[in-house]
């Protein structure tokens, strides 16, 4: 009799998992309380996967041998609680797909900030070097779908803490942890330690043949490493700008305008002035990418070419246009305070800062000094802006309360003058006004194009 797999959620993670399960001969049923996007429905139909939308058939779900849960569904969801009460294993797409990757190796990137840029850069380096490589996890294609439909030798995966929470036997051949700063605390009982422990799952099951790359400048990461030192088996490859480090296995260190990344006997030196991605946060990202790809055996000359050739990632400090000497910058991907810290750190002009959305238990203290020195106006964009307005009262001279996207954009344009930068860097999730941060960023760019650049 076929084992029964239920897939909770019909997004990119869910449809890929369902198709891989179907290919591997399971009895598969996908269920989503919302609507499934037409492009995903088409693929499910193509593979004859049974699915439902707009409801959960509880009896059928609770008859599963195993449930693959999409990362956006919290453990507190009533159906998830019932599944666990039945003792049915609940895993992530990453755990499930990892069972079928064969001899392919994985480079897995996590962290509160920088993981999308770093993942994209690693993928570019691997692809430019001629490797058969997929891009998946939080960006790119579904990891499970890639395994179901193509044979790759490398998988570059951006992994959120939610995806790692559903991993038990999965192993990263090269694990990269960018940093650990407060984010998604609403999903971790508002306890930083729970969130940090989740991020450290990037190291689980690693052996001495694997590599663990991390920031030696990140205090929380260092504390976690000290607390679990005896559990770590992988070769450790730290990168740093502010901390003196020396690792026998390799490291990356910034000196002046250049950093040198070394793994074993191979090294590459990067002149940061030649990089297209700017700011200190992108030096960290490039260091991590250089170490990861050296560990994967890529030629240093190829790594250097790809890093210099790499352009900014969409929605991360992405220039949206300039007119009348006012810059517009789309940093919609900045969904937490630490991301905003990096954004404000890189601002060189008086800044009109658009922020707000679904607050995830934010502590705004780290960005208040930058706000005091650099921000001339704060445009609060969200359904409930009370906390944001309270936190920056007396710090930012002008604060505007806007409950809609259109009002916020108009307010930003009204306040901005020649020589300013208008920065969308929300510090919050997008779900009060938008489907996701991508929609928020695209709407920002479209509004700038229509109302500023083409008026």
Go through the chain and tell me how many residues it has: 455
Q: What pLDDT is recorded for position 188?
A: 59
Q: What pLDDT is recorded for position 237?
A: 96
Q: What pLDDT is recorded for position 74?
A: 82
Q: What pLDDT is recorded for position 184?
A: 56
Walking along the chain (455 residues) 10 residues at a time, the average pLDDT comes out as 93 94 97 88 96 94 96 87 96 97 97 88 98 92 96 95 90 94 62 78 94 92 82 91 81 94 96 91 95 98 97 84 94 86 84 91 86 96 92 96 95 97 92 89 96 86
**For the chain, what are the domain ranges?**
4-91, 95-309, 318-453
Q: Determine the CATH number of domain 95-309.
A: 3.40.1190.10
User: Does the model's pTM come out above 0.85?
Assistant: no
Q: What pLDDT is recorded for position 238?
A: 95
Q: What pLDDT is recorded for position 100?
A: 98
Q: What would be the CATH architecture of the domain defined by 318-453? A: Alpha-Beta Complex (3.90)
d(CA 211, CA 177): 11
| 8 A C-beta contact, residue 424 and residue 442 | no
Q: What pLDDT is recorded for position 183?
A: 57
Q: What pLDDT is recorded for position 362?
A: 83
Q: Which CATH class is domain 4-91?
A: alpha beta
């Amino acid at each position: 009799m076929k084992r029964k797999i239920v897939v909770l959620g019909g997004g990119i993670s869910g449809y890929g998992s369902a198709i891989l399960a179907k290919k591997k001969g399971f009895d598969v049923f996908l269920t989503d309380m919302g609507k499934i996007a037409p492009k995903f429905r088409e693929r499910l139909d193509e593979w004859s996967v049974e699915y439902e939308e707009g409801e959960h058939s509880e009896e059928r779900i609770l008859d599963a041998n195993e449930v693959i849960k999409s990362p956006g569904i919290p453990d507190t969801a009533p159906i998830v609680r019932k599944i666990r009460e039945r003792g049915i294993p609940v895993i992530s797409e990453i755990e499930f797909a990892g069972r079928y990757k064969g001899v392919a190796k994985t480079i897995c990137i996590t962290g509160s900030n920088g993981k999308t840029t770093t993942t994209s850069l690693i993928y570019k380096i691997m692809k430019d070097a001629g490797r058969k490589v997929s891009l998946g996890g939080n960006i790119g294609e579904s990891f499970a779908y890639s395994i179901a439909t193509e044979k790759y030798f490398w998988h570059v995966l951006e992994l959120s803490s939610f995806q790692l929470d559903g991993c038990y036997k999965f192993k990263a051949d090269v694990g990269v942890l960018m940093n650990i700063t407060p984010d998604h605390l609403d999903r971790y009982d508002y306890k930083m330690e729970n969130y940090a422990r989740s991020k450290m799952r990037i190291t689980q099951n690693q052996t001495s043949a694997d590599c663990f790359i991390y920031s030696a400048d990140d205090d929380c990461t260092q504390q976690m490493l000290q607390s679990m030192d005896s559990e770590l088996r992988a070769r450790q490859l730290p990168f740093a700008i502010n901390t003196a480090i020396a690792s026998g296995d390799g490291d990356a260190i910034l000196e002046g305008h250049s950093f040198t990344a070394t793994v074993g006997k191979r090294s590459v030196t990067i002149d940061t002035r030649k990089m297209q991605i700017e700011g200190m946060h992108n030096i960290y990202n490039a260091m991590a990418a250089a170490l990861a790809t050296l560990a994967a055996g890529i030629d240093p000359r190829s790594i250097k070419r790809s890093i210099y050739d790499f352009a900014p990632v969409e929605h991360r400090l992405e220039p949206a246009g300039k007119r009348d000497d006012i810059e517009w910058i789309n940093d919609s991907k900045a969904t937490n305070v630490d991301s905003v810290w990096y954004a404000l750190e890189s601002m060189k002009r008086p800044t009109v800062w658009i922020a707000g959305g679904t607050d995830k238990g934010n502590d705004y203290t780290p960005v208040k000094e930058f706000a005091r020195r650099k921000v001339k106006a704060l445009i609060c964009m969200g359904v409930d802006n009370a906390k944001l307005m309270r936190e920056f009262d007396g710090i930012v001279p002008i604060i505007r309360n806007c409950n809609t996207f259109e009002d916020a954009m108009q307010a930003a344009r009204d306040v901005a003058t020649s020589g300013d930068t208008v920065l969308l860097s929300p510090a919050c999730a997008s779900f009060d006004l938008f489907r996701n941060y991508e929609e928020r960023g695209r709407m920002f760019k479209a509004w700038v194009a229509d109302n500023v650049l083409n008026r």
